[in-house]
Amino acid sequence: MARGGDVRFWGLDFPEPLPEREAEISAADLVATFSAGWTLGEVQSMLRSEGLLIPHGGLCLEHPASQWPVRAADLTLEQAIGFDFPHALGHLYGGWTDWVLGLTVEDANSPGSEVKLGSRVVKSVAGYDGQKLFCGALGAFGRIVSVTLRVYPLSVPLHADLRGSGGPPSEDCVLHRVRPADLAALEATVGEHALALDRLGAWAVYPLGQKEDPPLRFAGDQLWRYGQVPELNPAARRLLTQAKVQLDPNDQHQPALWRPA
Amino acid sequence: MPTTDRLRDGLAREIGAERILSGPSVERTYESDAYNVDRSQPTVVVLPESTDEVAKVVRWCRREGIPFTARGAGTGLSGGAMPALGGVVISTKKLNRILEIDLPNRRMRAQAGVTNIALSKAVAAHGLHFAPDPSSQTVATLGGNIAENSGGPHTLKYGVTAPHILGLTLIDAEGEILELERGFGPDWIGMVVGSEGTLGVVTEAWVRLTPVPEHVETALACFGTVREASECVSAIISRGVLPAALEMMDRNILMALRAAFGLEFPDATQAMLLVECDGPREACRQEIEAVEQAFRDFGAITQQRARDAAERAKLWTARKKGVGAMGRLAPSVVTHDGVIPRSKLPEMLDAVYEIAARYQIGVANLFHAGDGNLHPCFYFDDRDPRQVEAVVAAGTEVIQKCIELGGSVTGEHGIGVEKLDLMGLMFSPGDLAYQARLKEIFGTNELCNPCKVLPNQRGCQEHRLRWRGVAT
Ligand SMILES: Cc1cc2nc3c(=O)[nH]c(=O)nc-3n(C[C@H](O)[C@H](O)[C@H](O)COP(=O)(O)OP(=O)(O)OC[C@H]3O[C@@H](n4cnc5c(N)ncnc54)[C@H](O)[C@@H]3O)c2cc1C
């Protein structure tokens, strides 16, 4: 089974990666390029041997909550990017959209032809940053063929301060990067349920109650919900519809996703 | 293009006559940004004060088929704010209010015309700042920073503008008001930031406020060869240190600074490195010691560390005043902008000097070495057409070399109109066609800041000679 650690969310399948897997790491440039198919665990161990890492909280932290809802190590790189897989160190190092410097993707308009987006250097403002649209797109715009990432020295401080339970027991949980000011209120609301949070990063993971629905009262800058694909705001939905027309006009990738009811 | 009167009357009905400027002096003021090789005059300039007013202007332009171009302070270095096909310049001069400061959540909402420095000043008393720090920060606007995804000396650690934008209001090319925020789904904000005003007009943004670092250490070293200094840059990073800033200046810049401001440095100096580390006191101290060890290992002739804020400011003098001092070298200076993987710095700098020597023009380098973001400054006499030709050809060769080494045609100045022809060095026709489709997502039409970023756009080629002032 080539699909990474066989992780599946929301019933979404990602395309099978090509059998050939390649990796090119430059410690002096803090840049690494990987073909699709490597899991995050594999990538981190290759980087580690060069004194580098992706500062993804899901892997850097031992707390069980950081492994929720799946072990991040089992995601393929393209899944992690497609899900914009959240983590507890965003306040220090950002997330996938900041780390993905460039992508090679298959043009869904003309299958088989590859397109290069972004660059292979840590700083570039040439052209439109289409690589950023693939972060969080759940694979809806097409297949990722290879990824160039900004990586960090192994020595960078990893300050997440997770506390709380050993991870939420319920299936339908949310993972939330809340506004710092809302942390205390969030704790008060869901405190009796399992809750793990990182005060510094204002990052929390907690189960949805059966009757109450706390998370949307704490609209934060990132929301991940295990039970269902999160809703998009009206502007994002409008752009997504147009993006599908432009990038995947035959709706071959994640066709049922975010479709208006 | 309809007459000035028709534009004035139509727009006056939308936002009031007092917000519309026209006439010869207005045309001259707004015909270019800080890249003044190409020029094109607007018919009118509008000064809206709110998101709604910008939306009204854009919808009116759309209905009437009039091109429109957003403009902040006009400090752009690639012609982005030049109204390439004339029409309406939408100035953000009066969109200059800070709307909300949310200290507990470390964020602030401001209109697009607020200057970069004003954002930081507004929260300085609370130990916070807006981290992107382009050298033009005293005048450059938030909207301009967003459009160009601007960086600065501290980009190495804190990143360019994109990660510091939490939400924004965009009037797209159809005149729709889009509220974009960071949330689940594709990173629309990341796509708008750096799009050079071609996807619409940003009227407001939520920016991230970053704590002013607890502790700062600044060190400077002089090297006897450029190669030692540039190899030292890679070594610092490879040793696991991520400084806040890592800047380099070569001998020609230093000589100009000596002439202009009496800067002192050993005579044998060929290059100078300025490194700043920040963060918790102990970690910061360890980092700067590792940097100083690298200075020694790579044969620094002298090195010094700032003991207080006054000394730090002194060490930064060479970097901050370098551009000003360049004026001493020759009547004209053209600053290029290219990026290479930083490990290729020694090879790249050798190439820059070789190219300049071959074309018999002067070159000085002061740049963001840690990011591999080169700024070779060619100095010459623009009254001599042969020198002008040589500078253009040498600049193209430098950028070609950046691409050959795996880099980018621009690290912070953008494509604008200046680098349209160079996009083909970095992207294939297929890549560029895909980028044109990315642009279409925003309903973008040929009216919204036309002829920028993508080469070979319809209706633009024939205007290029006119921009250079050589059309008949
Ligand atoms: C001396 C000097 C030093 C500089 N140093 C740096 C540096 O260190 N780092 C760096 O990155 N750049 C630097 N620059 C370049 C420039 O200052 C930046 O690109 C800056 O962000 C431009 O801001 P502005 O307000 O002047 O924008 P303008 O020049 O007015 O416009 C730039 C682009 O932004 C678009 N735009 C402006 N406002 C909006 C808006 N509200 N909505 C949509 N589009 C908009 C314009 O259409 C244009 O395409 C420097 C320039 C100078 C002259």
Calpha distance B1→B18 (Å, rounded): 22
Residue B435 counted as domain residue: no
Contact yes or no for B184 and A30 at CB 8 A:
no
How far apart CA B410 and CA A26 sit, in angstroms, is 21
Ligand 1 interacting residues, C-beta cut-off 6 A: B 33-34, 69-77, 80-81, 92, 112, 134-136, 140-141, 143-145, 147-148, 150-152, 196-197, 201-202, 323, 412, 449
**Alpha carbons B254 and B257: distance in angstroms, whole number:** 5
Q: What is the mean pLDDT of residues A178-197?
A: 73
Cα(A243) to ligand 1 centroid in Å equals 28
Same domain assignment for residues B345 and B294: no
Do B243 and B165 belong to one domain? no
**What pLDDT is recorded for position A60?**
62
Task: Give the per-residue SS3 of B265-310.
Answer: CCCCCCEEEEEEEEECHHHHHHHHHHHHHHHHHCCCCEEEECCCHH
The neighbour count for residue B190, using CB atoms within 10 Å, is 25
CB nearest A116 (choices: B179, B238, B431): B431
Q: Are residues B372 and B393 in the same domain?
A: yes
Contact B342 A243 (CB under 8 A): no
Concatenating the DSSP letter of every residue in B121-154 gives HHHGGGTEE-----TTTTT-BHHHHHHHT---TT
Other beta carbons within 10 angstroms of residue B212's beta carbon come to 15
Q: Summarize pLDDT for A46-62 with one digit per residue, the tens.
A: 999 999 999 987 766 66
Contacts of A190 (CB under 8 A, 6+ apart): A206, A207, A209, A214
Query: Which chain B residues have a beta carbon less than 8 Å from that of A29?
Result: 237, 341-343, 372
In order of start, what are the domains of chain A with their CATH numbers? Answer: 20-153 (3.30.465.10), 161-251 (no CATH)
What integer pLDDT is reported at residue A4 of this predicted model?
A: 43
Last residue of a domain, one of B256, B290, B324: B324
Q: Which residues of A touch B174 (CB under 8 A)?
A: none
Model pLDDT for residues A119-146, shown as the tens digit of each residue: 999 999 999 999 999 999 999 999 999 9
Query: What SS3 state is found at A23?
Result: strand
Q: How far apart are CA B249 and CA B272, in angstroms?
A: 5
B413 Cβ contact list (under 8 Å, min separation 6):
A125, B35, B76, B77, B78, B148, B337
Residue type, B59: R
3-state secondary structure B211-268: ECCCEEEEEEEEECCHHHHHHHHHHHHHCCCCCCEEEEEEHHHHHHHHHHHCCCCCCC
- Kindly state whether residue B74 falls inside one of the protein's structural domains: no
Is the peptide bond prior to A260 cis by the omega test (within 30 degrees of 0)?
no
Rg (C-alpha) for chain B, rounded Å, is: 23
Separation of alpha carbons B412 and B75, rounded Å: 12
Q: Are residues B221 and B308 in the same domain?
A: yes
Instruction: Specify whether the CB–CB gap between B221 and B294 falls below 8 A.
Output: no
> Is the distance from CB of B175 to CB of B59 less than 8 angstroms?
yes
Residues B314 and B397 grouped into a single domain: no
> Structure tokens of B299?
């044969």
Nearest by CB to B188, which of A94, A134, A236? A236
A197-211 residue pLDDT tens: 777 777 777 776 655
Among the partner-chain residues B159, B184, B434, the one whose CB lies closest to the CB of A224 is B184
Q: Does B185 touch chain A (CB under 8 A)?
A: yes
What does the pLDDT read at residue B443?
A: 84
Boundary-marking domain end, from B324, B356, B377: B324
Q: Which residue has the tokens 């006439």?
A: B23
Contact criterion met (CB below 8 Å) for B116 and B141: yes
Contacts of B439 (CB under 8 A, 6+ apart): A128, B195, B198, B199, B453, B454
Note down the domain range covering B406: 330-418
Give the chain B residue nearest A109 (alpha carbons): B434
In which residue are the tokens 């850097």 written? A60
CA B33 – ligand 1 centroid, Å? 9
- Residue B311 shares a structural domain with residue B364: no
How many Å lie between the centroid of ligand 1 and the Cα of residue A197? 39
pLDDT exceeding 70 applies to what percent of chain A?
77
Place of tokens 């410097």: A101
Helices assigned H by DSSP within chain A:
40-48, 57-60, 77-82, 90-93, 96-99, 130-133, 183-190, 234-247
Q: Let me know whether B109 and B203 are in one domain.
A: yes
**Residue ranges with strand state E in B391-446:** none
In a domain, B15, yes or no: no
We report the CATH number of the domain holding residue B384 as 3.30.70.2740
Could you tell me if B111 and B203 lie in one domain? yes
Tell me whether B384 touches chain A (CB under 8 Å): no
Residue B202 within a domain: yes
Check which CATH number belongs to the domain holding B112 and give it. Answer: 3.30.465.10
Q: Are strands B88-91 and B68-71 parallel, antiparallel or unpaired?
A: parallel
Which chain B positions have a beta carbon within 8 Å of A123's beta carbon? 151, 155, 160, 339, 368, 371-373, 408, 411-412
In angstroms, the CA A144 to CA A79 distance is 9
Whether ipTM tops 0.90, in short, is yes
Domain finish residue from B418, B436, B455 = B418
List per-residue pLDDT tens for chain B, 472 residues long. Answer: 678 999 999 999 999 999 999 999 999 999 999 988 889 999 999 999 999 999 999 999 999 999 999 999 999 999 999 999 999 999 999 999 999 999 988 899 999 999 999 999 999 999 999 999 999 999 999 999 999 999 999 999 999 999 999 999 999 999 999 999 887 889 999 999 999 999 999 999 999 999 999 999 999 999 999 999 999 999 998 888 989 999 999 999 999 999 988 899 999 999 999 999 999 999 999 999 999 999 999 999 999 999 999 999 999 988 888 888 888 888 888 889 999 999 999 999 999 999 999 999 999 999 999 999 999 999 888 888 898 889 989 999 999 999 999 999 999 999 999 999 999 999 999 999 999 999 999 987 789 999 999 998 888 988 888 888 755 4
B385 touches chain A (CB under 8 A): no
How far is it, in rounded angstroms, from Cα B195 to Cα B439? 9
Beta strands in A55-143 (DSSP E): 100-106, 114-118
Contact B430 A113 (CB under 8 A): yes
Residues in A closer than 8 angstroms to B427, CB to CB, are: 116, 126-127
User: Does A161 score more than 80 pLDDT?
Assistant: no
Among B291, B373, B434, B440, the strongest candidate for a mutation testing the A interface, having the largest count of A CBs within 10 A, is: B434
Residue B283 in contact with partner chain A when CB distance is under 8 A: yes
Q: How far is CA B171 from CA A56, A57, B196, B205, B442, in A?
A: 34, 36, 14, 12, 10
Residues of B in contact with A241 (CB under 8 A): none
Taking alpha carbons only, the member of A158, A54, A116 closest to residue B432 is A116
Nearest by Cα to B91 from B112, B122, B66, B119? B112
Q: Are residues B233 and B275 in the same domain?
A: yes
B 205-244 residues with CB below 8 A of A?
A: 234, 237-238, 240-242
B204 and B151 within one domain = yes
Q: Which residues of B413-442 are buried (b: 16+ CB within 10 A; e: fewer)?
A: bbbbbbbbebbebbbeeebbebbebbbbbb
Answer whether residue B407 is part of any domain: yes
How far is the C-alpha of B340 from the C-alpha of B331, rounded, in Å? 29
Residues of A in contact with B176 (CB under 8 A): 238
Distance B223 CA to ligand 1 centre (A): 33
Q: How far, in Å, is the centroid of ligand 1 from the Cα of B340?
A: 22
Number of domains in chain B: 3
* Count of other CB atoms within 10 angstroms of residue A48: 12
Residue B203 and residue B115 in one domain: yes
- DSSP 8-state class, residue A16: P
Residues B34, B76: Cα–Cα separation, whole Å: 6
CA–CA dist B339, B376 (Å, integer): 11
Residues B231 and B320 in one domain: yes
| Contact in structure between A118 and A100 (CB atoms under 8 Å) | yes
Q: Is residue B455 part of a domain?
A: no
B60, part of any domain: no
Note whether residue B444 is domain-resident.
no
Cα-based distances in Å from A83 to A50, A60, A149, A208, B212: 27, 18, 16, 20, 32
Which B residues 387-406 touch A at CB under 8 Å?
406
Q: Residue A157 has what pLDDT?
A: 75
Tell me, what DSSP letter sits at residue A17?
A: P
In angstroms, the CA B53 to CA B72 distance is 16
**Quick check: A1 pLDDT over 70?**
no
Measured in angstroms, how far is the CA atom of residue A109 from the centroid of ligand 1? Answer: 35
Give residue A156's pLDDT: 80
